[in-house]
Amino acid sequence: MKAVHTELHRSHDPQFFLVRGVVKRTTEQPERADRLLKGLKDGKHQLVEPTKFGQGPRARIHSPEYLSFLSEAWEAWTALGDSGPEMIGNIHPVRHAATYPTHIVGKLGWHTADTAAPIGPGTWAAACAATDVAVTAAQMVMDGEDAVYALCRPPGHHAYRDMAGGFCFLNNSAIAAAHLRQKHERVVILDVDVHHGNGTQGIFYARPDVYTISIHADPVAYYPYVWGYAHERGEGAGLGANLNIPLAIGTGDDGYIQAMEVARKAIESFAPGALVIALGLDASEHDPLKGLAVTTPGFRRIGQAIAKLGLPTVFVQEGGYLSDILGANLTSVLAGFEEAR
């Protein structure tokens, strides 16, 4: 399996993370990509540089106002003269009878769901490069590759059409799926990150052509807390095209594979032409946030289960934070896929 990657991700190096009132350095660091690259090297995957696709694929998913905000945010922030080293909102209007703001501080609050997506001088460039990585992988699959892995950083599945959050700015998995839709009538996004893919769900919630499925730690006690429940099934034309499978905190390999079987049946009923895997590796038993307890051999089983779906597949990297086992888990899930294919 080929893997798409660019070093341009390094321009995004966030520092701020607020955890239960405690300020820490975020675990979404450039070193993540280094550990993932080691996993690719150990699996003997060929690295491919992305093609620059421009704004078009991003504009299929994100609003013009949001893209404009992200592209201009840092310049406007620094022009304030008394701003901090990263952009972190101090107002979140949640849009109850609200007016779209013109001031950068207001826009920052409007376009961020939480404080876990600090914007720095290189964030926009890195986020755009990540979408190029995802779209390049999708195009390679459309051109005949059976499966391609996209090493996207920053990740994307918490990003809505017009809101950043949870370390995410542009929704790489959604953008890949929209690109695949240029060829396939129906596409599935299967999110195996430990956190619910709330942004992806929100983007496609009223659409019948992209089936969004998320297997994640129970949001009753885990981020994002207010999305990711089993009763969220879509709305309007998209009713029935969203499936959430929340798992009890600490669920291990066998419980996860049972959830994959539920997802398999749903995917087969939908009969898509292609599959996007929003690949979180933070369901690991060694992940710093410890939501689930999947082992390294368990990730191999997940890869095998994905392969057995028999669909052209784009793996888009989502979560999986700094741990010694991160690269090995990536090697394991891709090896499992290749073995079962």
In degrees and rounded to multiples of 5, residue 119 shows phi and psi of: -100, 130
Question: Which residue among the candidates 12, 157, 158, 196 is catalytic per the annotation?
Answer: 158
CA distance 210 to 181: 8
Cα 199–Cα 144–Cα 60 angle in degrees, nearest 5: 30
Annotated active-site residue 9? The verdict is: no
Q: Please give the structure tokens belonging to residue 171.
A: 């929704």
Q: Contact at 8 Å (CB) between 294 and 302?
A: yes
| Full 3-state SS string of 129-185 | HHHHHHHHHHHHHHCCCCEEEECCCCCCCCCCCCCEECCECCCHHHHHHHHHCCCCC
Nearest to 110 by CA among 75, 153, 66: 66
Report CA 25 to chain centroid distance, whole Å.
20
**Looking at residue 19, what DSSP letter applies?**
E
How many Cβ atoms from other residues are within 10 Å of residue 30's Cβ? 15
Q: Which helix (H) or strand (E) holds 127?
A: helix 123-142
Q: Which residues are catalytically annotated?
A: 158
